[in-house]
Amino acid sequence: MSLARYHRKRDFAVTPEPRGKSPKSRAQGEFIIHKHAARRLHYDIRLEIDGVLKSWACPKGPSLDPHDKRLAVHVEDHPLEYGEFEGTIPQGEYGGGSVVLWDRGRWYPEGDARADYRAGKLKFRFDGHKLQGSYTLVRMHGRRDDDHDNWLLIKEDDDEASDDGEALVRDRPESVVSGRTVEEIAAGLPSKKKPGKTTNKKAADKPSNKSTRGAGGNKPAKRDAANAAVKAVAKKPATKKKKSAAKKSDEPARLPTAKKATTKKKSAAKKSDEPARPSTTKKASKKAASKKTAAKNRGQEGREEDHQAAARGQEEVRQEARRLRQEITRTPAPRARRAAAGHIGGEGPGRRGMVPRDQVRRLPPARAPRR
């Protein structure tokens, strides 16, 4: 959190870089990315933590491809005022070369930024003019000192990820403040944009309404003129209505003409002479009632037929089950034992040349040979 290392490396009588005040912590963190054409072109990624800009030098810059792991060397902390710096550092000084403010905005850590930074794994989300989406900074294992503290910058696989990781670095080399490139700053060309501090993409894109302000300063002049016209139009019909109401009240009540009175009398006489006819609605209601009763009768007959068919089916099932049960439980009749065909003593067509069993001559048992 101390800026002693930063002060020790710079001669502020020569370099235009800001000296910076004492660190002050703020609620929201700002991020800055400088494109720095020093001895080697690189990108300085700076995150506001504990009132200073924690800085990492990334030789190839941030990538949009989640498969890329970009080396980010942790360097000394920078003051918050360094977020406004853009210009040329004299040769011979620390980091001599032109510096472009390549991107800026807000960064939002996923957890406790201080604890994750000390643990060596910082997950966060960029919300800037160019960079959007989630990234992770991971400390590598190995030697760690003031000059060797290597980390890796990795893009998370989200909606802002792309297979073309070099798209932003290649296609958007200009500054978000002045619109100049590193070469134009080195050549001393003037700024292409009007000077102004915009730390958020939405704030930068928001149009100002100074030109639409009226003399009063609070409401636009066009809106005042439109409101006045609407009021004028709304007042005119009201006056006409009042005048017409007054005319009606002044005029005497007119009596109906004689023709109208005679026509009314004739129609009343005709109605009295004609016999009373039954209304069509009563006929329609009677027809509807008769249809409903017929439908009910048909439904009852159909249900009775269904019940009878079901009863017949159940009776047939019971009879079939009774028949099967009798067949299963009935004992089979004893069958006559017949001799197998071809056996001695049997009868049948295949017994020709066969000797009965009682006529077979039995041979004497064999004797042992004499010694």
- Specify the pLDDT at position 256: 47
CA distance 140 to 73: 10
More confident call, 289 vs 252: 289
> pLDDT value at position 274?
52
Query: Quick one: which of 84, 134, 78, 87 has its CA closest to 104?
Result: 84
Name the more confident of 250 and 165.
165
Question: Does the pLDDT at position 164 exceed 80?
Answer: yes
The values of phi and psi at residue 324, to 5°, are: -65, -40
Task: Provide mean pLDDT across the span 276-297.
Answer: 70
Q: What pLDDT, on the 0 to 100 scale, is given for residue 312? A: 82
pTM, full prediction: 0.50
pLDDT digits (tens, 9 = 90+) for 4-34: 676 676 677 777 777 666 656 655 589 999 9
Q: Looking at residue 297, what is its pLDDT?
A: 75
Distances (CA, A) of 133 to 107, 115, 128, 161, 204: 10, 22, 9, 8, 19
Of 145, 137, 146, give the one whose Cα is nearest residue 117.
Answer: 137
Could you tell me which residue, 213 or 295, shows the higher pLDDT? 295
pLDDT one-digit tens code per residue, 222-249: 455 555 655 555 555 544 444 554 455 5
By CB atoms closer than 10 A (0-12, 13-18, 19+), residue 48 is: buried
What whole-number distance in Å separates Cα of residue 265 and Cα of residue 268?
5
| DSSP-derived 3-state class of residue 32 | strand
pLDDT of 310: 80
pLDDT of residue 197: 47
